[in-house]
């Protein structure tokens, strides 16, 4: 029996509906694979912020630190600005725990409609640099209110920061279909992105079995719509990765399906797993939230904790329900509740034993 300790932060809104579904699935697959999870539930959310003035307590990071992973539902609440949850919870966790890889797999499962006419063969992963790049606080505003008003924002690309995320992408591609596409714009951005390109080429030499290419972000975005089946692993800076992962998730059919992982690949600190969607205040409390994003995120957690077989089995069960039944939540055109979908998935997971 392998034991893992998981910090569980359901957060806000439908986070409280999809996180229990993911935990049920983890228990079911854990029982079949000899994995036991001890859970620390943490009531950290925008609602906590409204009550107590902070998303998490002062010693919040210390309390997370001893866990093997963090499972997050969603954070966000009507009237609470995005920067509260970003700076009050997500960014401190990503930074303190060196979660420099943001991983966003995208697949179009059989039985799911994609907005694209030809969505066959979409099975890709966006690897986004999660710690530096364009999202820096360096810069400033000048001459406010005057004709010469201006804003300057600097991007930070470091050899260490780029190399480690590029290495991660090539290693991942080596375990998949062996292709890396690097997002760049070195024809227009003349300092940081040529540096990015050089480092990608330099690291690529260490992965002779992985084919790689670079594409300018504009052409890459177009190709992601026109020929999505072409891609295996796409690696991009913080900004490019952010945009491409949302684009790719939309191609995947529903925001309720998309999973994500914030990884510390060295496992010095816990990594964090969360569905891409937010708290969905418009459907909260109705029991109809799609739990796939949360369940798939839990599968990414299984991979990261060294149980890829268990992770694969969870994803296979998602694919099985979608391809071979009409059980699905309303966002996918069905009439099943979160609970009904989860039960069907667990039934199939156990059946595949």
Shortest distance, CB of residue 45 to ligand ATP, whole angstroms?
10
Q: How far is the CB of 150 from ligand ATP (least distance, A)?
A: 31
Residue 223 designated active-site: no
The answer to whether residue 283 forms part of the interface with ligand ATP (CB under 6 A) is yes
- 58 annotated active-site: no
- 46 vs 166, which CB is nearer to ligand ATP? 46
Q: List the one residue out of 130, 205, 212, 196 whose CA is nearest residue 162.
A: 196
Local structure of residue 133 (DSSP, 8 states): B
Shortest CA distance to 56 belongs to which of 99, 84, 89, 15?
89
The CB-of-247 to Mg ion minimum distance in angstroms stands at 16
Q: What is the CA radius of gyration of the chain?
A: 20
27 as an active site residue: the answer is no
Among the listed residues 12, 68, 168, 185, the single catalytic one is: 185
The residue assigned the tokens 């670079």 is 214
Q: Per CB under 6 A, does 289 bind ligand ATP? A: yes
Query: In 10 A of CB 257, how many CB atoms?
Result: 26
* Tokens encoding 183: 């997002």
Which residue has tokens 């993911």?
A: 22
Rounded Cα gap, residues 42 and 89, in angstroms = 12
Interface mask toward ligand ATP for 76-105; x: CB under 6 A:
x-----------------------------
| Residues between 316 and 345 that touch ligand ATP (CB under 6 A) | 329, 331
Could you tell me the smallest distance in angstroms from the CB atom of residue 278 to Mg ion?
4
Site string for ligand ATP, 7-36 (x = CB under 6 A): -------x---x------------------
Is residue 65 within 8 Å of residue 268, measured between CB atoms?
A: no
Active-site entry in 43, 113, 218, 326: 218
Residue linked to tokens 């999809």 = 18
CB 319, CB 310: distance < 8 Å: no
Is 68 noted as a catalytic residue in this protein? no
Compute CA distances 47 → 12, 15, 22, 210, 291, whole Å. Answer: 7, 12, 22, 46, 22
Of the residues 58, 59, 137, 282, which one makes contact with ligand ATP according to CB under 6 A: 282
Q: Indicate the residue among 18 and 199 with the shorter CB distance to Mg ion.
A: 18
- Token pair for residue 221? 């975005």
User: Should residue 290 be labelled a site residue for ligand ATP when binding is judged by CB under 6 A?
Assistant: yes
Nearer to ligand ATP, 229 or 281 (CB): 281
Residue 209 in the binding site for ligand ATP (CB under 6 A)? no
Choose among Mg ion, ligand ATP, none what residue 293 binds, the Cβ cut-off being 5 to 8 Å by kind. ligand ATP
β-sheet bridge partners, residue 140: 152
Secondary structure (DSSP) of 221-252: HHHHHH-GGG-SEEEE-HHHHHHHHHHHHHHT
- Residues annotated catalytic, as ranges: 135, 185, 218, 242, 246
Residues that bind ligand ATP (CB under 6 A): 14, 18, 74, 76, 255-256, 277-283, 289-290, 293, 329, 331
């Amino acid at each position: 029996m392998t034991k893992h300790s998981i910090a569980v932060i359901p957060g806000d809104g439908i986070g409280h509906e999809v996180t229990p579904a993911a935990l049920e699935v983890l228990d079911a697959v854990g029982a079949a694979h000899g994995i036991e999870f001890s859970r620390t539930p943490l009531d950290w959310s925008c609602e906590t912020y409204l009550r107590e003035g902070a998303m998490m307590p002062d010693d919040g990071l210390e309390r997370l630190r001893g866990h093997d992973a963090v499972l997050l539902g969603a954070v966000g609440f009507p009237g609470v600005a995005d920067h509260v949850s970003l700076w009050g919870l997500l960014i401190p966790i990503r930074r303190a725990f060196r979660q420099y890889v943001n991983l966003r797999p995208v697949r179009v499962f059989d039985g799911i409609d994609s907005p694209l006419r030809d969505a066959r063969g979409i099975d890709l992963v966006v690897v986004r640099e999660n710690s530096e790049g364009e999202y820096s606080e360096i810069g400033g505003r000048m001459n406010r209110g005057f004709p010469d008003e201006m804003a300057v924002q600097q991007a930070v690309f470091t050899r260490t920061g780029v190399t480690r995320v590029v290495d991660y992408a090539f290693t991942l591609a080596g375990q998949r279909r062996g292709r890396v596409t690097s997002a760049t714009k070195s024809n227009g951005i003349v300092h940081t992105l040529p540096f990015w390109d050089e480092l990608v080429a330099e690291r690529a030499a260490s992965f002779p079995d992985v084919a790689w290419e670079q594409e300018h972000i504009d052409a890459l975005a177009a190709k992601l719509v026109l020929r999505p089946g072409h891609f295996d692993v796409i690696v991009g800076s913080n900004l490019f990765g952010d945009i491409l992962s949302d684009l790719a998730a939309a191609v995947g059919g529903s925001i309720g399906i998309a999973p994500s992982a914030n990884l510390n690949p060295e496992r010095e600190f816990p990594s964090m797993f969360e569905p891409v969607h937010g708290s969905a205040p418009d459907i909260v409390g109705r029991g109809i939230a799609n739990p796939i994003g949360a369940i798939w995120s839990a599968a990414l957690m299984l991979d990261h904790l060294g149980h890829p077989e268990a992770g694969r089995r969870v994803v296979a069960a998602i694919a099985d329900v979608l391809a071979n039944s009409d059980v699905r939540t309303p966002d996918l055109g069905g009439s099943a509740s979160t609970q009904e979908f989860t039960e069907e998935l667990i039934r199939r997971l156990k059946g595949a034993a």
